[in-house]
């Protein structure tokens, strides 16, 4: 009887020690933008260039359309107003920016349409392919993106490595 009590006491002590160790560790995964898609606008508009002026980029209309129409998801849209002094800032589409999160839906479950205010041309991101997994390191479990492919204008952009191969939108 005493041996059973001591065994339980030892197990409780080990569990409490492990819980205290992991409870005091702050996890800074920085995985909130792991699936984010980055778009840049070509700014070379001088003398017949294919880029845009800063005035053309001050208001951007962005719409997300669900790919699976059998689900009861609705089309969302947002108007982004950007200061003319920062036309080179990228447009980042993430799970919670610029649209609010929609449950557990991922970026890859939508098609995105971009239209500049005052212009009739629209640009479409037809598909985003995402893959990732969770990796544990001691007490922390963080999400890591392992595949991020953006389909834009019949071309594939591999953005798996952050900051590389951004989609560049030109006229």
Q: What is the predicted pLDDT for the residue at 54?
A: 81
CA distances to 8, 20, 142 from 98, in Å: 52, 38, 23
- pLDDT of residue 20 exceeding 80, the answer is no
- Residue 82 covered by a domain: yes
- Residue 106 covered by a domain: yes
Q: What is the predicted pLDDT for the residue at 149?
A: 94
Give me the number of domains the chain comprises: 1
- Residue 36 covered by a domain: yes
- Residue 10 covered by a domain: no
Residues of the domain holding 145 = 27-169
Q: What is the predicted pLDDT for the residue at 71?
A: 73
- pLDDT of residue 156 exceeding 90, the answer is yes
Peptide bond into 98 cis (omega under 30): yes
- Residue 4 covered by a domain: no
Burial of 63 (0-12, 13-18, 19+ CB in 10 A): middle
- Residue 13 covered by a domain: no
CA distance 110 to 85: 31
- Residue 40 covered by a domain: yes
- Residue 14 covered by a domain: no
Q: What is the predicted pLDDT for the residue at 152?
A: 94
Kindly report, residue by residue over 82-140, the tens digit of the pLDDT: 877 777 888 899 888 898 877 778 889 999 999 988 777 899 999 999 999 988 877 88
């Amino acid at each position: 009887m005493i041996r059973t009590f001591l065994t339980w006491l030892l197990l409780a002590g080990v569990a409490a020690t492990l819980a205290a160790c992991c409870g005091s560790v702050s996890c800074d995964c920085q995985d909130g933008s792991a699936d984010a898609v980055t778009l840049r606008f070509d700014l070379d508009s001088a003398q017949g260039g294919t880029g845009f002026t800063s005035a053309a980029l001050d208001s951007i209309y962005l719409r997300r359309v669900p790919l699976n129409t059998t689900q009861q998801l609705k089309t969302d849209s947002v108007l982004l107003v950007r200061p003319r002094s920062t036309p080179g800032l990228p447009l980042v589409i993430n799970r919670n920016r610029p649209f609010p999160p929609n449950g557990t839906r991922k970026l890859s479950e939508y098609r995105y349409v971009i239209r500049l205010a005052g212009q009739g041309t629209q640009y479409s991101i037809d598909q985003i392919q995402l893959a990732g997994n969770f990796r544990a390191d001691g007490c922390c479990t963080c999400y890591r993106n392992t595949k991020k492919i953006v389909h834009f204008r019949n071309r594939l952009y591999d953005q798996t490595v952050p900051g590389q191969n951004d989609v560049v939108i030109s006229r």
